[in-house]
Amino acid sequence: MVLVRSIPVDTSAFTAWLCVAGPEPRLVDAATGEVRRDRQSGQTVYSVGLCGLRGRDSSVVQVSVIGEPVGLVVGAPVVPVGLEASAWERDGRSGVAWRAASIHPAGQSPGAEPPAPASAPSSAPTDAVVSSPGAVPTSPDSSPSSSPGAPTGSADSPAGSPGSSGASGGSGSRGSRRGGEGR
CATH number at residue 32: 2.40.50
Residue 143 forms part of a structural domain? no
Q: Is the pLDDT of residue 169 over 50?
A: no
Residue 90 forms part of a structural domain? yes
Q: Which domain holds residue 98?
A: 2-105
Proportion of the chain above pLDDT 90, given as a percent:
55
Identify whether the C-beta of residue 104 lies closer than 8 Å to the C-beta of residue 71.
yes
Residue 114 forms part of a structural domain? no
Higher pLDDT, 63 or 118: 63
Residue 131 forms part of a structural domain? no
Residue 165 forms part of a structural domain? no
State the sign of the Cα–Cα–Cα–Cα dihedral 22, 26, 27, 30: positive
pLDDT confidence bin for 115, thresholds 50/70/90:
low
Residue 152 forms part of a structural domain? no
Q: Is the pLDDT of residue 29 over 80?
A: yes
Q: Is the pLDDT of residue 124 over 60?
A: no
